[in-house]
């Protein structure tokens, strides 16, 4: 059965979700809401994307409240609204089975809960709600009836890898360094970054590698509370695709073959042995791709891995996988 979804927030992730929905037969985006853009502006940025190219098909404005999409020999309408109040959105949209909140506004959590709808957030929530990552703790979907978080792109890529490794070797500590492309709030020229943001992120991103703390450490500790995990990040002057450098220290002798076998059991992971660079993973929908060229055991007790992941399309594909699984459970 097709899952009808509404996307609230048509920024980078919202638009990636929409494009991926148009390529899946099991999910239909029946409504989008964006208070900060007109329908014409939304349509333009859905059709043209500087990173991922032109939309695969035709998309045009019908009127201020609907757009028409023709792709993969299918034609359908998606309705559009511009509510800045989520309660009004929920009252005005009646045909969505699931909501995906890509607005980044965590204060909407209680509103979705009060209305009793099924909603997935594309960011961490500041409460005790479920945070679910596919293939890591997706069994929690069976007990989830309302609202949950699909975590963040770095955790979605790293957590499945750590789960596989932790299951087959005794780990003492894990050190992770992520290298993340620039995000929208960074600066083209030096300028004040805004309150509560690391001052160095106010430096222009084009020529600098910027070290920063990363929230993925606290997120990973939620999933692996008994593990010692330390993380840091560099913002790098690229436009898409992340890479994570992972070093795992074990008191026991590490069995490389056993670890690779365990990693390959996860169908959300891919593997590469070719001489690839970051741009080669742009548009990749896997949670992560393990680069086998740099995966090795050092002195029997240190496991070194490099993984690549598209922080937009890989994360968005993971989120839609969760919605599909959730929908299948609800239909049982």
pLDDT digits (tens, 9 = 90+) for 36-79: 999 999 999 999 999 999 999 999 999 999 999 999 888 999 99
What pLDDT shows up at residue 332?
74
pLDDT digits (tens, 9 = 90+) for 200-217: 999 999 999 999 999 999
What pLDDT shows up at residue 158?
98
pTM: 0.95
Spatial neighbors of 271 by CB under 8 A, at least 6 apart, are 263, 264, 289, 290, 292
Instruction: Tell me the pLDDT band of 189, cut-offs 50, 70 and 90.
Output: very high
Calculate the average pLDDT of the chain: 94
Asked whether the predicted pLDDT for residue 171 surpasses 90, the reply is: yes
What pLDDT shows up at residue 128?
63
- Taken in order 164, 180, 27, 113, the sign of the CA dihedral is positive
For residues 144 and 322, the answer to whether their CB atoms sit within 8 Å is no
What pLDDT shows up at residue 127?
67
For residues 64 and 38, the answer to whether their CB atoms sit within 8 Å is yes
Of 21-25, 177-181, 279-283, least confident by mean pLDDT is 21-25
Asked whether the predicted pLDDT for residue 232 surpasses 80, the reply is: yes
Question: Taking every pair of C-alpha atoms in the chain, what is the biggest distance, in angstroms?
Answer: 65
247-to-16, 176, 231, 284 alpha-carbon distances in Å: 31, 6, 11, 24
What pLDDT shows up at residue 134?
94
pLDDT digits (tens, 9 = 90+) for 95-126: 899 999 999 999 999 999 999 999 999 999 97
What pLDDT shows up at residue 126?
77
Q: For strand 242-249 and strand 229-236, is the pairing parallel, antiparallel, or unpaired?
A: unpaired
Residue 317 structure tokens: 């594909």
Instruction: Tell me the pLDDT band of 19, cut-offs 50, 70 and 90.
Output: very high
- Taken in order 86, 92, 96, 102, the sign of the CA dihedral is negative
Asked whether the predicted pLDDT for residue 129 surpasses 90, the reply is: no
Spatial neighbors of 299 by CB under 8 A, at least 6 apart, are none
Q: DSSP characters for 37-94?
A: S-HHHHHHHHH--TTT-S-SSEEEEEETTEEEEEETTEEEEEEEE--SSHHHHHHH--
pLDDT digits (tens, 9 = 90+) for 272-317: 999 999 999 999 999 999 999 999 999 999 999 999 999 999 999 9
What pLDDT shows up at residue 1?
80
3-state helix, strand, coil in the chain (%, to 5): 30, 30, 40
């Amino acid at each position: 059965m097709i899952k009808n979804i509404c996307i609230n927030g048509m920024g980078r992730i919202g638009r990636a979700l929409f494009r991926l929905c148009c390529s899946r037969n099991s999910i239909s985006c029946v409504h989008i809401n964006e208070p900060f853009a007109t329908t014409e502006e939304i349509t333009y940025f859905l059709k043209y994307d500087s990173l991922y190219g032109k939309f695969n098909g035709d998309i045009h404005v019908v009127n201020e409240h609907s757009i028409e999409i023709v792709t993969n020999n299918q034609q359908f309408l998606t309705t559009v609204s511009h509510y800045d109040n989520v309660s009004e959105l929920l009252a005005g949209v009646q045909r969505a089975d699931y909501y995906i909140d890509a607005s980044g506004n965590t204060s909407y959590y209680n509103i979705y809960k009060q209305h009793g709808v099924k909603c997935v957030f594309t960011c961490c929530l500041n409460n005790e709600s479920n945070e679910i990552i596919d293939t890591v703790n997706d069994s929690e979907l069976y007990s989830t009836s309302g609202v949950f978080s699909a975590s963040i792109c770095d955790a979605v890529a790293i957590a499945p890898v750590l789960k596989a490794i932790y299951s087959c070797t005794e780990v003492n500590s894990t050190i992770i360094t992520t290298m993340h492309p620039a995000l929208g709030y960074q600066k083209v020229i030096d300028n004040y970054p805004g309150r509560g943001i690391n001052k160095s992120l106010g430096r222009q991103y084009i020529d600098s590698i910027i070290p920063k703390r990363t929230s993925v450490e606290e997120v990973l500790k939620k999933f692996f509370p008994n593990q010692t995990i330390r993380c840091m990040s560099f913002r790098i002057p690229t436009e898409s695709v992340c890479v994570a450098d992972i070093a795992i220290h074990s008191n026991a002798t590490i069995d490389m073959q056993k670890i690779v076998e365990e990693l390959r059991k996860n169908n959300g992971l891919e593997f590469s042995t070719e001489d690839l660079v970051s741009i080669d993973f742009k548009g990749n929908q896997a949670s992560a791709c393990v680069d086998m060229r740099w995966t090795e055991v050092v002195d029997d007790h240190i496991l070194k891995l490099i993984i690549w992941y598209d922080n937009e399309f890989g994360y968005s594909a993971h989120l839609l996988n969760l919605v599909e699984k959730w929908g299948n459970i609800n239909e049982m």
